Structure 1
């Protein structure tokens, strides 16, 4: 690592705070022009970004990072183009600020408006996915917020290069480049300092593994918008269509195994399993899905290994999966309640009553009936991009797009009223 220089986190946070005041008065057109220009600059300077990314990949190979981790870390010309396009997509979305949520007039004639406004300064702490640097920046700027970025050490060269490219682009726009701050340090002390910047940072958003999120939640004095790890379940009910069940399971597990909306546990009704075990076994084998099952599953699925308590709670981020056989819907919901992370849960069934019960009783940010959990994604749901997936219940829940990065002000307009 080369970027371990001393940084002044407080100075950067102060600069972001100053820039946020300038952002708040920009027009929607000025913000959109800036985002589209940033997209063009990122695509034009992709070779600079890929050269920096290669340094991170070389370090990853040296340290023996897993294939899944290296996939999250890796950039290509196409991936740069994808997150550049994400900025253009965000520019097309409605400005979430300045929206009148509600208004009314009091008996004394005082006019009241509840209006959406930017949060101010967002602190973003994340791990190995450089695309988050661009996605988070785009959403922050579109919603009128400055952002302080603290990426993981494994992607520090990539992130630094991306921010430098964006700074060059912002110099040709109405948005001050100081609105995007990157803490170029691998020192944990810099992260811990960011936790305490309550005077300058309005909210912290952690995005990554469970340990990172837990560290932010437990140590930060800045308010935290908590994103969650994804121990997502697919429950195959006894009334499930076999083709739908197999396709949904395979997609949710194998499309991108290392992302948080991938399925980590299959909960399957024993009656369905008894009838369709051959189809399930064939699909698991064809897609190289390794099974960690309970004792019932060990007798049915060849090559499966006995699951321990840690398997039911594990976010594998690989093509491994835990498989639990249950007697009924009640048992399935109980298992999900015990081990789920309130991220995304799915039921596959042709019985409408079972689906309604599942929706009513399962506590998660996103629930699916006859669909893959892979749709818990800001882009897939039409948000343009997302800054994270919230598993908490206050302020924002689920994929967080532009509206999640705003708060409200009450504006009162009078003619001299006193109380």
Structure 2
């Protein structure tokens, strides 16, 4: 293979003085939920909140003095951009990052804050990548690939070295897959140390590119996913060969699975994970039989999630649990009815957080009205009790 355990051990010596050896520990509650012994590796605690620093730094340290002086270029709209920008700046290497024109300004600003020059070009990543390669050739910059590079793969493999040094009894690793750099490096490292360890990859159902290619199908990818960090339409040429040889299975998870995993990590582990960073946990919950009774290492690969998106995910999870609900209630348009409905909800443990009254845009009788009530409850069972009490008192209820 193009990357060996010796390459990864060499990378560890080079990068370890400059990155966090992130903590790892057993997740008691998640272990109970999944039926396995779950051990989390918090790569979301790196300075740029992603494992991507490891591979980017290893590649930067491999450059000749002339290459460092000339500068580097990368294409990324996310974590790779920040990893390259931060370590290039720290090493005194000029860095240019090409991003699509629709990249959120917060990501552009963060990358610039790390000292890189940001160039916005192209509507999609493929256009940005082609421009970055051409610009690099024209100006003599070294291109830092986000995943399909032996130095990058070796750098990412240091995650598994740290995990198995601290947790030698792991039976399996579950690793998110985008382009395949992280899982390639981790698989080579882990199997060199412990040949019988099982390696599982995880992809979003909407971007199952590595899964499809290894199955002999042309990938059909697209759609909006909260796991944008692994939303890669074509994995690397180097990485797909390594994954084919080293990985037991690639598991696919849906958007609901990813949202649930992000919420569990926030609510139980008190850690912020982006969608890609929560993919491993999503797979363990969706496919518990694969992991029951095993010691499983999960890599929380990144924590760069937009605050508004995180808030939406957490609120949607409350809705799925029945702890936050919106009811449409029909009632007579007369004095005291709203107070009576409010009393029924309150007496049965509900907390009203919002009420809207509708007399015009409704199909009820002109002598009647309807209200939409947002309320908090303890759980889904309590919500059903409230709905039942309202209907028993003659108020038709629709759960929205």
- TM-score, normalised relative to structure 1: 0.22
- The normalised TM-score by structure 2 is 0.23
Larger radius of gyration, structure 1 or 2? 2
Higher RCO (C-alpha under 8 Å, 6+ residues apart): 1
